[in-house]
């Protein structure tokens, strides 16, 4: 476990700090006895209070900003995160550091409400398919039990041990040197511990100018706090791993007297050699970043849209035979929940009650342009971070992709005859939403963090030149269908807004490509559909969104790749403020993700972790991921902002399967390779079952904590409140 920063502000004053005052007040024995009697009575009342509320979460004693009450007039379109501080602290206080040693954690465990239960570190996790390790498949959350655990003597390199305290604009910067062991696969292990009050934060890892991973944090609780592990297969970056690199890891955080959670992080890489083979693409020969290119300045390289122009001019290698552009994107600030935004015409519909709402519609499209021509698009997966909607939904089961934001692949091989002509070419990333006239317009919204990269496979002969025909692009404007209605009370006050947004898009790029390796026709196609019904009711304080995103991407030619995906999301939230100022937030979320990946994917699919993935009679030609997470949570806060409580439950079923190269094996979902069903109540895992290749195995990260009778930590966790619009720091979104 990484150590807490020694300068960390205490959550509660230690007992010794109060002793001088107590000694003065207890100067006489009679007065001392009187105080002891009062303390005993108060203690019994508090104990009784805890017992009566433990079924739904304990009362939180941490202080909140008095400004939190003003959030009632600035409800952020039905989506709740932790309250963002309304002003910067006068002093930056604790700075981030990279400790040279790892002292033991000195946090004192919280006392339990029963004689047998004791607070332990809350193990957070995201459910995902296993990762191939030297010893076989391993759970991505680091929990043991799939194949006997890690043997000694692994080839592992420490990349970072760093405490992120006040770290906005101050990323970790370190140097990586390749190990001497033989390797063709690399897996990251990111382990984090934290306690106190803190928001979920976005984190980006770079090799120089190139982003190689995007993740985010869980929200900590009172001591002893939280811990999580995520294993990330990064074999696609062998181009970087085989030579020295500058590692830049950006995790923007703030620390003051209110937000005390420091993220103590350890990042290692395990190197090994494996002969496993899948239909996935071999690692590329070259990776070209499309970024702000600030690595030489030891700074982060993401573009922030629409404030910046996300364009690079590139001289492409002339002997390229395949190229794939990957996008890493997510919205922050008022764009973090872009899928719940309203039409631009309705931004001020509830200005008299709930305040201004984020606009540009609930639809976003990320576009990749080559020399100004549309090469492909991404319709983003709606990631809900661990403070999203209601924090109780995500303890300890993080939402899908919260710990591993996936990149989207766009095959640009059809552009190679153009790109390999010896001239410089521009690559641009654009985020578009719907404007006031409901036209798709670049620049909608704010604070989209985007980077891209181009994976390039080269012909053996460096003197060869790829030629062919110019790309033919068929990209009609997307078909849009918009409907809205606004209901008013008898006195003309806007009460309920109903809006429906439907979008369809198709794209086809074709060309003839002649390289040293092959000559023939290549194509890239995308077919996408999007629907979103939004209802904003109760004068702007309640919101419901029912969303369905579908897409199929396919590349054909010498190399085949296909991805079919479905992203359903249902989010419902009510927000009430009593006359005395007490706040209650109720949220229910059901989110799914179904993806089938076939052929030469740039990124690992999970098939590499299982025998039989190499093709042939019993090989798997495609990977199928199917998961749904559903939960309900409540957050309550007193009118003075000094006490809050929360409780919730969540359950997730995750299935990962392989489809035979010889055709369907038994059913359309393929052969089950990994299955997990987990449920949590009030921050504790109450059920965790899993199977590997049809065989039951040990439970996941949360099961051990459930077995020892851990007290509920959700109510004791440090929640903050509704974000005040325009003042949300978020995960790097500015303070």
The answer to whether residue 376 scores a pLDDT higher than 70 is yes
Q: Say if 193 falls within a structural domain.
A: yes
Q: Say if 226 falls within a structural domain.
A: yes
Q: Say if 84 falls within a structural domain.
A: no
Can you give the pLDDT at residue 533?
A: 98
Q: How would residue 380 be classed by pLDDT, with cut points 50, 70 and 90?
A: very high
Can you give the pLDDT at residue 718?
A: 46
The mean pLDDT of 270-277, rounded to a whole number, is: 89
Structure confidence by residue, pLDDT tens digits, 508-521: 999 999 999 899 99
The mean pLDDT of 385-405, rounded to a whole number, is: 94
As beta bridge partners, residue 265 has: 162, 192
Half-sphere exposure of 16 (CA within 13 A, CB side): 1
Q: How would residue 442 be classed by pLDDT, with cut points 50, 70 and 90?
A: very high
Higher pLDDT pick, 139 / 76 = 139
Element containing residue 713 per DSSP (H, E) = none
Q: Measuring CA to CA, which residue among 721, 725, 538, 729 is closest to residue 75?
A: 725
Q: Measuring CA to CA, which residue among 603, 602, 596 is closest to residue 621?
A: 596
Q: How would residue 669 be classed by pLDDT, with cut points 50, 70 and 90?
A: confident
Q: Say if 208 falls within a structural domain.
A: yes
Q: Say if 31 falls within a structural domain.
A: no
The answer to whether residue 271 scores a pLDDT higher than 80 is yes
Cα dist from 330 to 91, 202, 385, 526, 723, whole Å: 30, 10, 11, 21, 19
Can you give the pLDDT at residue 716?
A: 43
Q: How would residue 51 be classed by pLDDT, with cut points 50, 70 and 90?
A: very low
Reduced to 3 states (helix: H, G, I; strand: E, B; else coil), residue 192 is strand
Element containing residue 535 per DSSP (H, E) = strand 519-537
The Cα–Cα gap between 391 and 372 comes to 42
Q: Which of 44-58, 303-317, 430-444 has the lowest mean pLDDT?
A: 44-58
Q: Say if 87 falls within a structural domain.
A: no
Higher pLDDT pick, 345 / 15 = 345
| Highest mean pLDDT of the ranges 38-47, 517-526, 641-650 | 517-526
Q: Say if 541 falls within a structural domain.
A: yes
Residue 662 has which token pair? Answer: 């010889």
Total number of residues shown for the chain: 735
Q: Which of 68-72, 349-353, 442-446, 615-619 has the lowest mean pLDDT?
A: 68-72
Q: How would residue 346 be classed by pLDDT, with cut points 50, 70 and 90?
A: very high
The answer to whether residue 103 scores a pLDDT higher than 80 is no
Domains of the chain: total? 1
Assess contact for 137 and 274: CB atoms under 8 A: no
Please give the backbone phi and psi of residue 132, each rounded to the nearest 5 degrees, phi first. Answer: -75, 125
Strands (E), 35-121: none
Can you give the pLDDT at residue 359?
A: 96
Reduced to 3 states (helix: H, G, I; strand: E, B; else coil), residue 416 is helix
The answer to whether residue 398 scores a pLDDT higher than 90 is yes
Q: Which of 110-114, 249-253, 509-513, 617-621 has the lowest mean pLDDT?
A: 110-114
Can you give the pLDDT at residue 735?
A: 27
The mean pLDDT of 244-265, rounded to a whole number, is: 95
CB-neighbour burial class of residue 218 (10 A; exposed 0-12, middle 13-18, buried 19+): buried
Q: How would residue 189 be classed by pLDDT, with cut points 50, 70 and 90?
A: very high
The answer to whether residue 178 scores a pLDDT higher than 60 is yes
In the sheet that 185-194 helps form, which strands lie side by side, from edge to edge? Answer: 122-124, 226-233, 185-194, 263-272, 155-164
Structure confidence by residue, pLDDT tens digits, 722-731: 333 333 333 4
The answer to whether residue 563 scores a pLDDT higher than 90 is yes
The answer to whether residue 174 scores a pLDDT higher than 70 is yes
Can you give the pLDDT at residue 144?
A: 65
Which residue is associated with the tokens 């198709």? Answer: 506
Question: In this structure, how many other beta carbons lie within 10 angstroms of the beta carbon of residue 506?
Answer: 15
The Cα–Cα gap between 533 and 222 comes to 38
Q: Measuring CA to CA, which residue among 128, 135, 136 is closest to residue 613?
A: 136
Element containing residue 169 per DSSP (H, E) = none
The Cα–Cα gap between 411 and 509 comes to 10
**Cα angle for residues 19, 220, 110 (degrees, 5° grid):** 40
Q: Measuring CA to CA, which residue among 591, 574, 592 is closest to residue 583?
A: 574
The Cα–Cα gap between 357 and 370 comes to 34
Domain, as residue range, for 571: 122-707
The mean pLDDT of 78-88, rounded to a whole number, is: 34
Residue 713 has which token pair? Answer: 């930590």
Can you give the pLDDT at residue 85?
A: 32
Q: Measuring CA to CA, which residue among 554, 469, 474 is closest to residue 513?
A: 469
The Cα–Cα gap between 531 and 545 comes to 10
The mean pLDDT of 426-440, rounded to a whole number, is: 96
Q: How would residue 471 be classed by pLDDT, with cut points 50, 70 and 90?
A: very high
Q: Say if 57 falls within a structural domain.
A: no
The answer to whether residue 106 scores a pLDDT higher than 80 is no
Q: How would residue 72 be classed by pLDDT, with cut points 50, 70 and 90?
A: very low
The mean pLDDT of 200-213, rounded to a whole number, is: 98
Question: In this structure, how many other beta carbons lie within 10 angstroms of the beta carbon of residue 282?
Answer: 12
The Cα–Cα gap between 341 and 249 comes to 31
Can you give the pLDDT at residue 497?
A: 98
Q: Measuring CA to CA, which residue among 205, 241, 285, 236 is closest to residue 601?
A: 236
The per-residue pLDDT of the chain, averaged, comes to: 81
What is the pTM for the complete model shown? 0.82
Helices (H) and strands (E) in the chain, counts: 5, 34
Higher pLDDT pick, 24 / 647 = 647
Residue 176 has which token pair? Answer: 């990586």
């Amino acid at each position: 476990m990484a150590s807490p920063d020694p300068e960390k502000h205490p959550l509660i004053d230690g007992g010794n700090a109060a002793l001088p005052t107590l000694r003065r007040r207890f100067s006489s024995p009679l007065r001392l006895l009187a105080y002891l009697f009062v303390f005993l009575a108060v203690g019994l009342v508090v104990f009784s209070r805890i017992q009566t509320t433990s079924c739904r979460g304990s009362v939180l004693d941490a202080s909140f900003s008095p400004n939190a009450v003003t959030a009632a007039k600035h409800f952020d379109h039905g989506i709740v995160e932790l309250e963002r501080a309304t002003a910067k602290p006068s002093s930056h206080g604790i700075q981030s550091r990279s400790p040279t040693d790892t002292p033991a954690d000195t946090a004192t465990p919280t006392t339990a409400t029963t004689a047998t239960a004791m607070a332990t570190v809350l193990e957070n996790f995201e459910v995902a398919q296993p990762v191939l390790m030297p010893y076989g498949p391993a759970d991505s959350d680091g929990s043991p039990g799939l194949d006997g655990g890690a043997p000694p003597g692994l080839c592992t390199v420490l990349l970072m041990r760093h405490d992120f305290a006040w770290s906005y604009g101050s990323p970790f910067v370190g140097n990586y040197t390749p190990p001497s062991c033989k390797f063709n696969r690399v897996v990251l292990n990111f382990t984090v511990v934290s306690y106190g009050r803190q928001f979920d934060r976005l984190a980006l890892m770079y090799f120089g100018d190139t982003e190689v991973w995007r993740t985010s944090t869980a929200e900590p609780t009172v001591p002893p706090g939280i811990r999580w592990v995520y294993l990330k297969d990064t074999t696609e970056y062998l181009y970087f791993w085989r030579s020295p690199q500058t590692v830049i890891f950006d995790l923007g955080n703030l620390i003051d007297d209110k937000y005390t959670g420091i993220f103590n992080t350890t990042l290692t890489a395990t190197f090994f050699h494996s002969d496993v083979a899948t239909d996935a693409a071999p690692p590329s020969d070259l990776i070209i970043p499309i970024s702000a290119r600030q690595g030489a300045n030891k700074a982060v390289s993401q573009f922030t849209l629409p404030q910046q122009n996300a364009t690079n001019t590139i001289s492409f290698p002339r002997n390229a035979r395949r190229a794939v552009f990957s996008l890493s994107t997510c919205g922050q600030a008022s764009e973090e929940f872009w899928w719940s935004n309203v039409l631009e015409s309705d931004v001020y519909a509830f200005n008299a009650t709930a305040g201004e709402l984020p606009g540009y519609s609930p639809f976003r499209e990320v576009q990749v342009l080559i020399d100004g021509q549309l090469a492909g698009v991404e319709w983003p997966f709606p990631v809900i971070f661990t403070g999203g909607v209601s924090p109780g939904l995500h303890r300890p089961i993080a939402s899908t992709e919260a710990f591993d934001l996936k990149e989207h692949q766009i095959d640009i091989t059809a552009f190679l005859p153009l790109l390999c002509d010896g001239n410089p070419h521009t690559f641009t990333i654009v985020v578009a939403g719907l404007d006031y006239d409901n036209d798709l317009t670049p620049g909608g919204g704010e604070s989209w963090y985007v980077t891209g990269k181009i994976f390039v496979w080269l012909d053996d002969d460096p003197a060869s030149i790829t030629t062919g025909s110019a790309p033919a692009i068929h990209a009609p404007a997307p078909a849009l269908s918009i409907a809205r209605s606004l209901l008013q009370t008898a006195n003309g006050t806007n009460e309920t807004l109903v809006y429906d947004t439907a979008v369809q898009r198709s794209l086809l790029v074709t060309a003839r490509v002649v390289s040293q390796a092959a000559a023939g026709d290549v194509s890239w196609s995308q077919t996408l559909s999007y629907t979103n019904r939004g209802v904003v009711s109760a004068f702007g304080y309640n919101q419901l969104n029912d969303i369905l995103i579908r897409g199929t991407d396919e590349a054909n030619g010498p190399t085949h790749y296909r991805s079919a995906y479905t992203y359903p999301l249902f989010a419902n939230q009510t927000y009430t403020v009593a006359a005395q100022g007490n706040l209650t937030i109720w949220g229910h979320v059901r989110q799914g993700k179904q993806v089938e990946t076939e052929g030469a994917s740039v990124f690992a699919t999970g098939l590499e972790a299982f025998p039989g993935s190499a093709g042939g009679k019993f090989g798997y030609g495609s990977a199928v991921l199917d998961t749904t997470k559903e939960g309900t949570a409540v957050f309550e806060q007193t009118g003075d902002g000094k006490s809050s409580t929360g409780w919730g439950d969540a359950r997730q079923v995750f299935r990962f399967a392989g489809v035979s190269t010889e055709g369907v094996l038994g059913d359309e979902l393929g052969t089950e390779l990994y299955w997990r069903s987990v449920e949590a109540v009030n921050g504790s895992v109450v059920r965790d079952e899993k199977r590997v290749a049809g065989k039951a195995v040990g439970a996941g990260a949360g099961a051990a904590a459930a077995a020892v009778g851990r007290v509920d930590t959700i109510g004791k966790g440090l929640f903050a409140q509704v974000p005040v619009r325009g003042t949300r720091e978020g995960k790097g979104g500015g303070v």
